[in-house]
């Protein structure tokens, strides 16, 4: 067969996740199986109308064409065909949320004169370096969880007129390295979001907060979850069942959706509504920054909107910036019945919050982030 000739009828391409051993070691069996399922799903979306896609074994799936392969005219023949397929599959996956973008793929033609190995990686060189770093950080997080090196601090959301009147306490996760030093979420959350592990991590934190609420009937707690975690699927099912069976816990739990990622249109609102039906409250975190405004609009009737602290910090610059704070508070009030201004660090900050029309505030003025109150 010449380099540019058409593929034989009945061509089959075996695709393999070459780094599955690393994925399994770092992320675990459930994660690796999720990657397998996602890759098969992506392949079916791309080629399902032209070929049959089936899982062969862990980390391996086959794409089979009954007739002539649509890649038969690609320069480079069999190798070029396989490389083009992997590049197409990788490009599709890379643009979509999920975990499959971490896979390094190779392929082998089976239904041709001779099997030909086609090396292919779904990521560009810069993303490959990023993926390796994300894998390293994710392994560090998994080890910290298994070794009980995560703690939960809290900070109250207080009434601007009566600081003893607390709406709820926001839970803040802190990872500790083996020397006991604190590693703040900003150091590892972006990697978890990129790798798709953020939902697994958010579920872990949510379940810890639920345990705290079971132990302390006097507490109302807020827990941060990424917009990427606001998806109604099997991962959350056991947690939702627990909340259904414990309405006294659900009504004291506030889910704060962070601004660092974009909420999936439609699915995010459905999941948020399901949480509200269970009695939980929904808060939009860091409104005005990142994807905060988009999330507030998409959720449709959240219970709480939290104004990003940058609006308050800029208010010291003069009347114009103070008016920005007032306007963003007014906008938030049209979206949710409860508005919180974050970043209150002084009496002067508190006065500006009062002047903006907000009723609730949060920040170091009310104390440093600390463990749960006695």
Give the 3-state secondary structure of the chain. Answer: CCCCCCCCCCCEEEEEECCHHHHHHHHCHHHHHHHHHHHHHHHHHHHCCCCEEEEEECCEEEEECCCCCCCCCCCCHHHHHHHHHHHHHHHHHHCCCCCHHHCCEEEEECCCCCCCEEECCCCCHHHHHHHHHHHHHHHHHHHHHHCCCEEEEEEEEEECCCCCCEEEEEEEEEEECCCCCEECHHHCHHHHHHHCCHHHHHHHHHHHHHHHHHHCCCCCEEEEECHHHCCCCHHHHHHHHHHHHCHHHHCCEEEEECCCCCCCCCHHHHHHHHHHHCCCEEEEEEECCCCHHHHHHHHCCCCEEEECHHHHHHHHHCHHHHHHHHHHHHHHHHHCCEEEEECCCCHHHHHHHHHHCCCEEECHHHCCCECCCC
Query: What pLDDT does 234 receive?
Result: 75
pTM to 2 decimal places? 0.72
Six token digits for residue 106: 């190779």
**CB atoms inside a 10 Å sphere around CB 204:** 14
| pLDDT-derived band at 43, boundaries 50, 70, 90 | confident
Query: What pLDDT does 290 receive?
Result: 66
Query: What pLDDT does 31 receive?
Result: 76
Structural domains of the chain ordered from first start: 12-123 (3.30.70.270), 136-366 (3.20.20.450)
Question: pLDDT for 16-37, tens place per residue?
Answer: 888 888 777 776 777 788 788 8
Query: What pLDDT does 263 receive?
Result: 76
Q: Are 13 and 63 in contact (CB under 8 A)?
A: yes
| pLDDT-derived band at 9, boundaries 50, 70, 90 | very low
Kind of pairing between the strands at 182-183 and 360-362 = unpaired
Residue reference for tokens 């079971």: 214
Q: How far apart are CA 48 and CA 55, in angstroms?
A: 13
Question: pLDDT for 163-183, tens place per residue?
Answer: 999 999 999 999 999 999 999
| pLDDT at residue 69 greater than cutoff 90 | no
| pLDDT at residue 1 greater than cutoff 50 | no
Query: What pLDDT does 242 receive?
Result: 96
**CB atoms inside a 10 Å sphere around CB 73:** 14
| pLDDT at residue 281 greater than cutoff 80 | yes
Question: pLDDT for 325-371, tens place per residue?
Answer: 999 999 999 999 999 999 999 999 999 999 999 999 999 999 776 66
């Amino acid at each position: 067969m010449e380099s540019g000739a058409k593929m034989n009828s009945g061509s089959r391409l075996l695709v393999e996740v070459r780094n599955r051993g690393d994925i399994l070691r770092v992320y675990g069996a459930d994660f690796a199986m999720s990657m397998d399922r996602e890759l098969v799903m992506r392949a079916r979306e791309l080629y399902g109308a032209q070929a049959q896609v089936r899982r062969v074994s862990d980390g391996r799936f086959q794409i089979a064409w009954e007739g002539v392969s649509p890649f038969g005219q690609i320069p480079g023949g069999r190798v070029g065909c396989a490389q083009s397929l992997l590049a197409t599959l990788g490009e599709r996956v890379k643009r979509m949320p999920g975990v499959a973008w971490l896979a390094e793929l190779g392929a082998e033609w089976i239904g041709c004169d001779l099997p030909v190995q086609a090396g292919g990686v779904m990521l560009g060189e810069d993303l490959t370096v990023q993926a390796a770093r994300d894998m390293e950080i994710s392994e560090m997080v998994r080890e910290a969880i298994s070794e009980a090196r995560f703690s939960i601090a809290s900070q109250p959301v207080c009434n601007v007129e009566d600081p003893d009147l607390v709406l709820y306490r926001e839970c803040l996760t802190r990872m500790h390295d083996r020397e006991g030093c604190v590693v703040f979420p900003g150091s590892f959350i972006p990697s978890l979001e990129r790798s798709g592990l953020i939902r697994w991590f958010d579920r872990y934190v949510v379940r810890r907060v639920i345990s705290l609420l079971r132990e302390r009937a006097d507490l109302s707690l807020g827990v941060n979850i990424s917009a990427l975690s606001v998806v109604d699927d099997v991962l959350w099912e056991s947690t939702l069942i627990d909340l259904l069976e414990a309405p006294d816990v659900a009504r004291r739990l506030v889910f704060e959706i962070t601004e660092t990622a974009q909420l999936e249109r439609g699915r995010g609102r459905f999941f948020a509504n399901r949480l509200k039906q269970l009695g939980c409250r929904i808060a939009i975190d860091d409104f005005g920054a990142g994807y905060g405004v988009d999330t507030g609009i998409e959720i449709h009737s959240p219970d709480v909107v939290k104004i990003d602290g940058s609006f308050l910090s800029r208010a010291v610059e003069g009347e114009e910036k103070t008016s920005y704070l007032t306007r963003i508070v007014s906008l938030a009030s049209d979206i949710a019945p409860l508005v919180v201004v974050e970043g209150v660090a002084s009496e002067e900050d508190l006065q500006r919050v009062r002047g903006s029309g907000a009723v609730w505030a949060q920040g170091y003025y009310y104390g440093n982030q600390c463990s749960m109150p006695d």
